Amino acid sequence: NFGDNNAELQKRVVTEVLNGDKRICLAISEPFAGSDVANIRTTAEKTPDGKYYIVNGAKKWITNATFSDYFVTAVRTGGKGMGGISLLLIERSEGLETKKIHTAYSPAAGTGYVTFENVKVPVENLLGKENRGFQCVMYNFNHERWLIVVGVLRGTRPCVGE
C-alpha cells in the first residue's frame, strides 16, 4: 500500500514494475540491526523547505539490490524505537550505491549491500504516514514468513514420502 496520498506514484511505479521495465526491492535489514526494525540507524531528515528527505545509512542482505531501480526503504524519521520508523520509496540516484554480496544460496538473487549518502528523496515518496512504517514492515514480514514456511513444507514432502 502506497498510502492515500500517493496515487500518482503508485500508478507509475506499479506499472513500470509489472511491465518489467523497472525492478524493485525491499531494503530493511541493516549491518548493525539485522532484521530488528525498531533499531535501524538509516536516517531520513527533511530539508529546511520540507520538500525532500535526505537519507543516510546502509542496508545489508537486500535481495535484488544490485539490479533494482526502486528501494522500498525503512528509515528513521523520528525518535528511538518503532515509533520513529517510516517507509520511503527511493529511486536509484546520486548517493545510492549497491555492492554485490556473494552468497551460497543464489547468485541470481542480486543480494547486496546498499549505502545511502545524502540521497535526496521527494516527500511525496513517503509510503503511508511518517513514523508509522514499523507496522507496515511487520505486516509485510508476516506474509513473507508465511510464504517461506509454505515453501519449506512443500520442499520436505518428497523426503517424508520416501
Domain 4-161, second-level architecture: Beta Barrel (2.40)
Q: Report pLDDT digits (tens) over 120-142.
A: 999 999 998 999 888 877 766 66
- Alpha-helical runs (H) found in the chain: 7-18, 133-161
Annotated catalytic residue within 117, 130, 144, 162: 144
- Measure CA 58 to chain center: 11
What ranges do the domains of the chain cover? 4-161
**Mean pLDDT, the chain, whole residue set:** 88
- Give the closest residue to 27 by CA, choosing from 78, 75, 67, 79: 75
Concerning whether 144 is annotated as a catalytic residue, the answer is: yes
Query: Any idea which residue has 508465511 for its cell?
Result: 146
Question: Is the pLDDT at 109 greater than 80, yes or no?
Answer: yes
Burial class (CB in 10 A: 0-12, 13-18, 19+), 75: buried
Q: What is the pTM of this model?
A: 0.84
Q: Report pLDDT digits (tens) over 41-92.
A: 999 999 999 999 999 999 999 999 999 999 999 999 999 988 999 999 999 9
